[in-house]
Amino acid sequence: MRKRAGVSFYIFLSLFIFVIMFPFLWVFLTSIKPPIEIFAGFNWFTTNPTLQSYINAIDTRPLFLYMWNSIAVSTLTTVIAISVASLAAYAVTRLPIKFKGTILGIVLAAAMFPQIAIISPIFNLIQSLGLRNSYMGLVIPYITISLPLAIWILATFFKKIPFELEESAKLDGATPFQTFRKIIFPLAAPGVFTTAILVFIAAWNEYLFALTINSDDNWRTVPVGLSMYQSQYTIPWGDITAATVLVTIPIVVVVLLFQRRIVAGLTSGSVKE
Amino acid sequence: MGDKKKGFQLSETQLGYLMVLPALILIAAVTLWPVAQSFWNSMFDYRLNDPTRNQTTLSYQIDLETYANNYFYIDRDLEAIENEAADTELEETVAQLRQEIETYHDQLVTLPEIEEQYEIVDEMVMNFEPVNDRDLRYGSLDNDFAEGYISLLEDGQDELLDAIGDHDEEMESALSAGAASLTSLDRSLIRPNFIGLQNYGKYLTDARMWSAMWNTVFFTVVSVFFELTIGLAVALIINRAFIGRGAVRAAVLIPWAIPTAVSAMMWNYLYDGQSGVVAHYFEQLGLISDASVLLSTGSGAMFSIILADVWKTMPYMALLLLAGLQTIPESLYEAAEVDGANRIQRFINITLPMLKSAILVALLFRTLDAFRVFDLIYVLTGGGPANSTESISVYAYQVLFAQSNFGEGSVLSVIVFLSVALISIIFIKLIGSDLFEGKTGK
């Protein structure tokens, strides 16, 4: 590192973090204000902090049910995507098959597909399978988002594992499947885990499919459920800010715990090493 | 994998294809096939909320329940006219019409593919039972037969309606009752809803489509531009050793990680004309004339959406570019310094070329993401005020699901798809094979 950090640098840094964090900060400060104060002015801090907005947020809408739905859908999506994608990524990076470029091209093309271009046929499909308002009704379309993403990132991680290990396992008489399970998979586990986090976040954040397919309030996921807090006539900012804080906490925890891995996964696709 | 080309090698290759297969099948089933269907659907007059058009068909069909129901009245109504108009020219015309309809009817109910089905449905109609089974209720008809029958019914209607003018009241009501039964019978014969490129013609001349397209392009170009330039500037500044990297990383990742719909709700609050703090401070600083400007005017709303998008994505962009910056060897800068290159020259001649592929890949994914923007706009402004922030995806969603028009909506879906394909092709040409580097293995 050639530059050293001076005072002005830290001032800049603090400003940068403040600007980025300001919306969260303000939303949090609003959520603990008594509801009357929210509409009364722009004081930063309230003198009577209260949890009333949190109670309202949970009472008016089944927020915890939304979170449970999101957890179920995202977990199922992640498990399916990772198991299918790790096989494919392994074959593309490490086995002597043809058309590797074509296969990755298809994967990349699928990753770029706009969801709006497939929503109506997917809607018909889910409808005819009788899967509207169910977890599988969302897991199936989420494959379109998660599978290409998972293959793309896993391929980078699998490529980094030294080929020598595989060769020596082969000499010892291991079948390719054994090599994959006993040698590659343990070594690739950190990469697989990173990919799983990214796939999970992608599934957690999806909006369009969740909005159209699971329209029953009991099957809504967090993003859709939260966007339904605004009614046509009044906007209960207290409830909304409290609900926002509640649904953001799990994400903040995940980010704080796994930030290094997330950054490694995000940059793996775009930076040559 | 060495030089061993024996049985082992073969099975390994086969295994390889086997391992790729599930992924390819899934991708084909949930992306390629639906896109093909969107293309197909876009060529039909296909509406979910209209029972006669809620499927795509290339041939004539018949709604047997409606048919059986209405055929029952035809005879009665036409006979009533004949009785009214005894010994006139009209009597003869109507008698002939009745005769012809009967001929067609007899032919219809003895068609081998319809006969049995019709008997069951007719029985049910007589017993006032609803026919809920789609397969039972609808039958397909030969195109020539259906067209002949339809033109007979339509001509019959015209004749009866034309005759209305010259008769008394009683006759008039008999005639219109007859015409109405003919219309109902006619409705039970469902036309194929294939309309070719007609939907495209409609949307390519649709002002709302072009304004949505313009909004999308404007949003994409402006927000990606600011995300890239600010992101690059931030990356350059923080590319050094400092205390608190973890805090910066977390601060940068959290906006990226939260759902766009959630951040749209947050910004919706911050921009609000009455209680929004951002709107309030902007007004105090004199940036806007009134706090309500941000969400209630077209340009204010577009600015708001772009700002929210830049806030969410710029840090992520900075992170990607920072990772790229850190792979540039220090020795290059040292050598340039020895040669007397100044800061700007070093940036232009070393940093930018070395970052090129990282920038292009980041740009590709960001551009595509921005172009298909849906949730940010849908939640923050709903496309308003007065469609001034409506993106093409939001418009497509409205036509597909608010109007239940899968035919016309699919046209907009296809337009988004083709635009995205075009953008990807341009970028991939620019990036070249770098995109796959480090992935395909030996």
The per-residue pLDDT for range B56-83, each reduced to its tens digit, is: 877 888 888 888 888 878 888 888 888 8
Is there a domain that residue B28 lies in? no
State the pLDDT at residue A224: 94
Is there a domain that residue A178 lies in? yes
- Interface size between A and B, measured as CB pairs under 8 A: 307
Taking an 8 Å cut-off on Cβ atoms, the answer to whether A205 and B260 are in contact is: yes
Q: A232: pLDDT confidence band, cut at 50, 70 and 90?
A: low
For residue B321 the two structure tokens come to: 């570019």
For residue A221 the two structure tokens come to: 């996921």
Q: Which of B77-91, B121-135, B407-421 has the highest mean pLDDT?
A: B407-421
- Write the CATH number for B384: 1.10.3720.10
State the pLDDT at residue B3: 44
What's the pLDDT tens digit per position in B173-198? 888 888 888 888 888 888 887 888 88
Least confident residue range of A106-110, A143-147, B134-138:
B134-138
Same domain? B153 vs B292: no
CA distance A218 to chain B (A): 18
State the pLDDT at residue B399: 93
- How far apart, in whole angstroms, are the C-alpha atoms of residue B375 and residue B353? 35
What's the pLDDT tens digit per position in A155-213? 888 888 888 887 888 888 888 778 877 887 788 888 888 899 999 999 999 999 999 99
Cβ contacts of A112 on chain B, cutoff 8 Å? 368, 420, 424
Peptide bond before B34: cis, by omega within 30 degrees of 0?
no
Same domain? B319 vs B418: yes
- How far apart, in whole angstroms, are the C-alpha atoms of residue B258 and residue A194? 17
Same domain? B171 vs B66: yes
Please count the structural domains in chain B.
2
- How far apart, in whole angstroms, are the C-alpha atoms of residue A26 and residue B380? 18
For residue B387 the two structure tokens come to: 């469609």
Is there a domain that residue A10 lies in? no
State the pLDDT at residue B396: 94
- How far apart, in whole angstroms, are the C-alpha atoms of residue A22 and residue A11? 16
Q: B219: pLDDT confidence band, cut at 50, 70 and 90?
A: very high
Give the residue numbers spanning the domain of A206. Answer: 62-221
- How far apart, in whole angstroms, are the C-alpha atoms of residue A251 and residue A95? 37
Taking an 8 Å cut-off on Cβ atoms, the answer to whether B27 and A148 are in contact is: yes
Taking an 8 Å cut-off on Cβ atoms, the answer to whether A42 and B320 are in contact is: no
Neighbour-count burial of B217, counting CB atoms closer than 10 A to its CB (0-12 exposed, 13-18 middle, 19+ buried): middle
Please say whether the beta carbons of B246 and A259 come within 8 A: yes
Least confident residue range of A105-119, B300-314, B392-406:
A105-119
State the pLDDT at residue B393: 94
Q: B38: pLDDT confidence band, cut at 50, 70 and 90?
A: very high
B274 has a chain A CB within 8 A of its CB: yes
Strands B189-190 and B61-63: antiparallel
Please say whether the beta carbons of B405 and B206 come within 8 A: no
- The neighbour count for residue B340, using CB atoms within 10 Å, is 7
Neighbour-count burial of A193, counting CB atoms closer than 10 A to its CB (0-12 exposed, 13-18 middle, 19+ buried): middle
- φ, ψ (nearest 5 deg) of residue A143: -60, -35
- How far apart, in whole angstroms, are the C-alpha atoms of residue A142 and residue A128? 18
Same domain? B178 vs B234: no
Q: How far lies A208's CA from each of A100, A150, B88, B175, B419, in Å?
A: 32, 20, 65, 52, 19
Q: B118: pLDDT confidence band, cut at 50, 70 and 90?
A: confident
How large is the average pLDDT for residues B146-170? 81
- The neighbour count for residue B431, using CB atoms within 10 Å, is 18
Cβ contacts of A230 on chain B, cutoff 8 Å? 265, 268
How large is the average pLDDT for residues A221-246? 86
pLDDT above 70 coverage of chain B, percent: 95
Q: A241: pLDDT confidence band, cut at 50, 70 and 90?
A: very high
Same domain? B291 vs B177: no
Is there a domain that residue A102 lies in? yes
What does pLDDT average to over chain B? 85
All residues at 6 or more sequence positions from B290 whose CB lies less than 8 Å from its CB, including other chains: B273, B283
Please count the structural domains in chain A.
1
State the pLDDT at residue A79: 96
- B264-290 exposure pattern, b = at least 16 Cβ within 10 A, e = fewer: bbbbbbbbbbebbbbbbebbeeeebee
Same domain? B169 vs B278: no
Question: Among all residues of chain B, which has the CA nearest to that of A244?
Answer: B262
State the pLDDT at residue B440: 56
Beta-sheet strand order (sheet of B189-190): B138-140, B61-63, B189-190
Cβ contacts of A244 on chain B, cutoff 8 Å? 262, 265-266
Taking an 8 Å cut-off on Cβ atoms, the answer to whether A13 and B416 are in contact is: no
Identify the H or E element spanning B214: helix B207-238
Is there a domain that residue A49 lies in? no
State the pLDDT at residue B125: 84
Please say whether the beta carbons of A61 and A190 come within 8 A: no
Is there a domain that residue A77 lies in? yes
Same domain? B296 vs B377: yes
Same domain? B213 vs B176: no
Cβ contacts of B240 on chain A, cutoff 8 Å? 1-5, 9
Cβ contacts of A13 on chain B, cutoff 8 Å? 238, 242, 244, 248
Better pLDDT: B15 or B304: B304
ipTM of the complex as predicted: 0.90
For residue B156 the two structure tokens come to: 């019959």
Is there a domain that residue A237 lies in? no
Residue type, B245: R
State the pLDDT at residue B339: 86
Q: B97: pLDDT confidence band, cut at 50, 70 and 90?
A: confident
- φ, ψ (nearest 5 deg) of residue B118: -65, -40
Is there a domain that residue B114 lies in? yes
Cβ contacts of A177 on chain B, cutoff 8 Å? 15
Please say whether the beta carbons of B407 and B47 come within 8 A: yes
Is there a domain that residue A142 lies in? yes
Better pLDDT: B381 or A181: B381
CA distance A234 to chain B (A): 12
Same domain? B129 vs B209: no
B243 has a chain A CB within 8 A of its CB: yes
B249 has a chain A CB within 8 A of its CB: yes
Is there a domain that residue A243 lies in? no
The dihedral formed by the CA atoms of A38, A43, A45 and A49, expressed in degrees to the nearest 10: -30
Q: Which one of B216, B262, B351, B422 would you mutate to disrupt binding with A, by most A Cβ within 10 Å of its Cβ?
A: B262
- Write the CATH number for A145: 1.10.3720.10
DSSP designation for B62: E
- The neighbour count for residue B143, using CB atoms within 10 Å, is 12
Same domain? B219 vs B135: no
Same domain? B343 vs B389: yes
Domain boundary among B139, B167, B190: B190
Tally the C-alpha atoms within 13 A of residue A90's C-alpha that lie toward its C-beta.
Answer: 29
Q: A152: pLDDT confidence band, cut at 50, 70 and 90?
A: confident
- How far apart, in whole angstroms, are the C-alpha atoms of residue B327 and residue B356? 12
- φ, ψ (nearest 5 deg) of residue B189: -90, 110
- How far apart, in whole angstroms, are the C-alpha atoms of residue A63 and residue A243? 7
All residues at 6 or more sequence positions from B362 whose CB lies less than 8 Å from its CB, including other chains: A270, B228, B317, B320, B321
State the pLDDT at residue B435: 63
Query: Is the confidence at residue B411, as pLDDT, over 90?
Result: yes
- How far apart, in whole angstroms, are the C-alpha atoms of residue B223 and residue B391? 14
What's the pLDDT tens digit per position in B256-292? 999 999 999 999 999 988 888 899 999 889 888 888 8
Query: Is the confidence at residue A125, as pLDDT, over 50?
Result: yes
State the pLDDT at residue B436: 64
- How far apart, in whole angstroms, are the C-alpha atoms of residue B187 and residue A200? 50
Give the residue numbers spanning the domain of B321. Answer: 201-436
Same domain? B146 vs B269: no
Is there a domain that residue B196 lies in? no
Q: A233: pLDDT confidence band, cut at 50, 70 and 90?
A: low
